[in-house]
């Protein structure tokens, strides 16, 4: 089974890269499942239902998010609109699972690919240099007890490389992949850990690289130089598509390989 995971889709430039590259990447690599982090797909801040639908139309099958999930207020009503359709689009948009109990949305989706292969996706958020959440390690343990699929993909949306690497080791042999998102800079440490878990500290941003992690660079520079508050807007230049391709054995969920992909215009 081949899983493509697309790193943080940022603004319209990122969405355009998904539209341009996803179909040919899926076709040329015979991809079975596409998961994407979309927390900043709406102008660089949050996700709207319309943009989630656009990404599903482009071929994404599960959307993960992170700390920016509440930036667009519509997402709360969207999560609350979930009905009995266990594989409907609303159900396939995740927020980090280790948020306070009772908040809208869920952090685990279990489904089947078009060819009937079972899989699960879990979204977690780190706690180092980030807002306070429940323990992502213990939350992973609890969720894995509920999961029946062998193929399990974890999006660990976290800031600190140490916390992400620790999660990789913690889950090695228990999940198919631990993939880092949030920092928007692809890391070159893709590898399959000894017990069969594919790992990369950060998949990298699918968005504008003529920027500071997606935001117009002049605006971020002003903030660093003066400390004054100011507008942050999504940049547009040098868009790239950043993803990882994981090949795994669907009978036991073990990863065989993890390969980095970065494509420009
Ligand atoms: Fe984030």
**Tens of pLDDT, residues 24-66:** 999 999 999 999 999 999 999 999 999 999 999 999 999 999 9
How far is the centre of ligand 1, averaged over its atoms, from the C-alpha of 65 (Å)? 7
Alpha-carbon distances, residue 83 vs 1, 62, 87, 89, 113 (angstroms): 30, 17, 10, 10, 21
Arithmetic mean of pLDDT over the chain: 97
Q: Work out the number of other CB atoms within 10 angstroms of the CB of residue 137.
A: 15
Residues near 84 by beta carbon (within 8 Å), at least 6 away in sequence = none
How many Å apart are CA 1 and CA 250, to the nearest integer?
A: 6
Ligand 1 centroid–CA 87 distance in Å is: 25
What is the arithmetic mean of pLDDT over 193-220?
98
Q: Is the pLDDT of residue 71 over 90?
A: yes
The pTM of the whole model exceeds 0.95: yes
Cα separation, 115 vs 118, in Å, equals 9
What is the number of alpha carbons within 13 Å of residue 7 lying toward its C-beta?
33
- Of 4, 43, 16, 59, the closest CA to residue 240 belongs to 16
Instruction: Please name which of 4, 259, 201, 19 lies closest in space to residue 119, comparing C-alpha atoms.
Output: 4
Please tell me the predicted confidence (pLDDT) of residue 84: 86
Provide the annotated active-site residues. 68
Per residue in 166-197, pLDDT (tens digit) is 999 999 999 999 999 999 999 999 999 999 99
What's the 116 CA to ligand 1 centre distance in angstroms? 32
Q: What's 172-187 look like in SS3? A: ECCECEEEEECCCCCC
3-state DSSP helix/strand/coil % of the chain, to nearest 5: 25, 25, 45
């Amino acid at each position: 089974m081949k899983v493509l995971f697309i790193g943080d889709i940022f603004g319209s430039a990122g969405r355009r890269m998904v539209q341009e590259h996803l179909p040919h990447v899926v076709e040329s690599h015979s991809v079975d499942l596409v998961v994407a982090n979309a927390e900043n797909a709406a102008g660089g801040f949050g996700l709207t239902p319309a943009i989630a639908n656009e990404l599903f139309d482009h071929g994404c099958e599960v959307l993960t998010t992170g700390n920016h999930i509440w930036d667009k207020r519509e997402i709360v009503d969207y999560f609350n609109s979930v009905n009995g359709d266990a594989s409907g689009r609303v159900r396939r948009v995740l927020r980090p699972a280790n948020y306070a109990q009772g908040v809208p949305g869920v952090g685990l989706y279990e489904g089947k690919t078009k060819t009937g292969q079972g899989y699960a996706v879990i979204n977690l958020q780190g706690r180092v240099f980030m807002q306070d959440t429940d323990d992502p390690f213990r939350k992973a343990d609890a969720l894995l007890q509920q999961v029946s699929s062998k193929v399990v993909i974890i999006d660990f949306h976290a800031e600190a490389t140490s916390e992400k690497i620790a999660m990789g080791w913690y889950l090695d042999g228990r999940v198919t992949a631990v993939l880092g998102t949030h920092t928007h800079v692809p890391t070159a440490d893709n590898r399959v850990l000894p017990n069969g878990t594919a790992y990369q500290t950060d998949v990298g941003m699918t968005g504008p690289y003529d920027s500071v992690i997606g935001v117009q660079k002049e605006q971020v520079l002003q903030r660093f130089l003066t400390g004054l508050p100011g507008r942050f807007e999504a940049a547009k230049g040098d868009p790239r598509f950043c993803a990882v391709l994981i090949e795994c054995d669907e009978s036991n969920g073990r990863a065989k390989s993890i390969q980095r992909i970065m494509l420009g215009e």
